Amino acid sequence: MKNILSMADLTKDEILNIIHKAQDLKEQGISSIDRKATVANLFFENSTRTKCSFEMAERKLGLDILPFETNTSSVQKGETLYDTCKTLESIGVEALIIRHSENEYYEPLKSLNIPVINGGDGSGQHPTQSLLDIMTIYEEYGYFSGLKVLISGDIKNSRVARSNADALTKLGAEVMFSAPDQWKEQISDIPYVNIDDVINEIDVCMLLRVQNERHDKGQSYSKSEYHVGYGLTKERYEQLKDSAIVMHPAPVNRGVEIDTNLVESPKSRIFRQMENGVFVRMACIQEVLNHKEEKVKCHL
């Protein structure tokens, strides 16, 4: 595949292919790219996990990373994202990883001759987060068909919710949402449920970060009110099945989306998700660079 932009674009087989490649990388050790390549990470939104995870993946693959800082780039002079990317392509960068606050920022970039991996676009899509979530679930269960997955929290503003709703439904899981009324949005016909009605029957409890930065004034709950109404409390945790797992894309607002003592509880896979993120991103980078190389060979 040339680009990895949205989970809606990936077929079931393509998703599983990336997951299996990531598992091989995790189990068999590091696998570098056969040739030297230079990549650039363009992060127009703050990030710890995604940016550092991509950088670690790139280093493990033996890639050169061209430093790029948005606050010192010509974007500050009014340069368009397309022109910035075209400049990087022109000087020899062979792949771009981009996070941007604008939904579908990548549409004008599809004409580039180098691949783009979406590191998150506004409240739209976050494909590599979804892929690492899928890998974590697959490691636990080995299948998706019939699994009950509850995604609870700020659905309206969550690219994670959209990406996982698309992908997990495609893979055969039964996905449910839980959210306050003002943070609900209809996505892929996913039903909304009361968390307390399903807590004892779900296989995956996925909490979402409350995205206060995307809310209009007056929309936010107090921390305690949200935690009691929609978070994973100790009482709800005790009702989970023994085989159930707890997930969160992080950063975690402790005591809000999840009780602070449950972040590293036996059922939690939050830090496993972060670990898997490196291998998923290695697999994604290999996929797009190999596609670019195959395309070049075809033209020779």
pLDDT in tens, 267-279: 999 999 999 999 9
**Does residue 23 have a known ligand-binding role?**
no
- Looking at residue 32, what is its pLDDT? 65
* Tens-place pLDDT, residues 175-197: 999 999 989 999 889 999 999 99
The separation between the first and the last C-alpha atoms of the chain, rounded to the nearest angstrom, is: 19
**Does residue 159 have a known ligand-binding role?**
yes
Task: Give the whole-number percent of the chain exceeding pLDDT 70.
Answer: 92
- Looking at residue 36, what is its pLDDT? 83
Looking at residues 147-168, what average pLDDT do you find? 95
How many angstroms separate the CA atoms of 114 and 292, rounded?
7
Check whether 35 has a pLDDT greater than 90.
no
Looking at residues 244-255, what average pLDDT do you find? 95
**Does residue 99 have a known ligand-binding role?**
yes
**Does residue 67 have a known ligand-binding role?**
no
- Looking at residue 298, what is its pLDDT? 45
Residue 275 and residue 135 in contact, taking contact as beta carbons nearer than 8 Å: no
75 band by pLDDT with thresholds 50, 70 and 90: confident
pTM, two decimal places: 0.93
**Does residue 49 have a known ligand-binding role?**
yes
**Does residue 191 have a known ligand-binding role?**
no
**Does residue 244 have a known ligand-binding role?**
no
Check whether 201 has a pLDDT greater than 90.
yes
**Does residue 77 have a known ligand-binding role?**
yes
Check whether 57 has a pLDDT greater than 80.
yes
